[in-house]
Amino acid sequence: MKTLSHWIGGKPVEGVSGNYGPVYNPATGAQEKQVAFASVDEVDAAVSAAKEAFRTWGTSSLAKRTSVLFKYRELLDAHREEIARLITAEHGKVHSDALGEVARGLEIVELACGIPEKLKGELSTQVSTRVDVSSIRQSLGVVAGITPFNFPAMVPMWMFPLAIACGNTFVLKPSEKVPSAAFKLAELAAEAGLPDGVLNVVNGDKVAVDAILEHPDIAAVSFVGSTPIARYIHTTGTANGKRVQALGGAKNHMLVLPDADLDLAADSAINAAYGSAGERCMAISVVVAVGETADPLIGKIKERADQLRIGPGDDPASEMGPLITKVHRDKVASYVSGAAAQGADVVIDGTGYTVQGYEDGHWIGVSLLDHVTPEMDAYRDEIFGPVLSVVRVETYDEAIALMNNSPWGNGTAIFTRDGGAARRFQMEVEAGMVGVNVPIPVPVGYHSFGGWKDSLFGDHHIYGNDGVHFYTRGKVVTTRWPDPSDGGINLGFPSNH
């Protein structure tokens, strides 16, 4: 069985802790690899390598950094098929979805290639006699990222390319369930000419996470994952003096007004609820149907859902793959049966789904629940699976009150032909990312990604301008050069003349 190791100081490093975790193929249910779990000492070795590399990388020219990043972008593009296959093998998502993930990660690499523009400072001349003031941004030092299983390549690429472009060095702790993509990203970075120690990868569990959060030489931590863990990361990291951005979970709503194009809304609900098997924080998990919209909309969603093809991610005919583990599959299934017991109508029950020839895989079909109410567990919890709930309301005001009462505020969408209603919605809804007739409003690379309320802990969203600000700190320099006419003694308070 293949054992996956760490990447420290520019090369593979075998794990020595003696602790390993299983890596499954979700389509077959078979363990195909194991991954070494880092000890505290191994995390310290990665941080030490990053700290040593920062001595030169932190003072390197923007030209040198961007030359590496441009080459890195070329290599990622050339290897996108290979990276996608690694994602499919360990996560289970279909190949086209994995390719899309790599493409969205590449957007941030491209943003990082333009870092000279993002790091331009400001200058005010002659603020006082022969006095100039400039504002600049400088790197932090060693920074770290802790990333989730659902986007093994994209989320790491949301972090480290921008961090190293800003002059930092990086320690990445990917999900132990899907470690291969991150290792490949590090290999390609070295091939692109990234100096040893600038990017390090340590695999592991909570031992590695806590070692990162408590390490005195790590200045900042980025995290994407569930809300309880995001809260823990933020609390623990900030208690140890670190800058932290911790993106948590979600319960994203899609509001459908009576004037909406229901075919477009049904297509969008299918794509947003069941794409990537619902294992994404931007998935639409609740459709809020206003007035008489619900019945025809549910009919259209059901018609489309019945036609979905579920199967192994490496089968070109598959539109949705398995879930990440058996335990998670069973948990998702429990919400469907639980909703029925709590009074919801189960329009589609996908809990008994299997794929012929892959019976041991982590399979579940799509489920559609109607007459869901806010008291039900299927509404209150982040399910993180292919389960779509429909909540019926009578008015827009009732809908916006329902949505804003949610503890999460990650993404949301409205479907309507009314520009006034859409504008009112985008101003009134309490969420960090809003789509108007767009079900998954993930921003492009030069805008920032992040939610409100329990979907984000910390002051900075990820990538875009917020990402640059998170990975740098400001400095203001006031300068006066002596003039031959200067001189004399004046003990009075300095004045700006």
E strands, 405-494, where?
408-409, 411-415, 433-436, 452-453, 456-457, 472-480
- What gap in Å lies between CA 62 and CA 459, rounded to an integer? 27
Helices (H) and strands (E) in the chain, counts: 16, 23
- What gap in Å lies between CA 88 and CA 24, rounded to an integer? 11
Q: Is 166 a catalytic residue?
A: no
Collapse the DSSP code of 491 into the 3-class scheme (helix H, G, I; strand E, B; otherwise coil) and give the result.
coil
Beta-bridged to residue 95, according to DSSP, are none
Exposed, middle or buried: residue 395 (CB in 10 Å: 0-12, 13-18, 19+)? exposed
DSSP annotation of 442: P
- What gap in Å lies between CA 152 and CA 104, rounded to an integer? 12
DSSP per residue, 397-426: HHHHHHHHTSSEESEEEEE-S-HHHHHHHH
Task: Return the CA Rg of the chain.
Answer: 25
Angle at CA of residue 100, ends 98 and 101, nearest 5° = 65
CA nearest to 139, candidates 468, 472, 470, 469: 472
Phi, psi of 349 (to 5 degrees): -115, 110
Sequence-distant (6+) residues with CB within 8 A of 191 are 75
281, 355, 372, 456: which is the annotated catalytic residue?
A: 281
- Catalytic residue IDs: 281
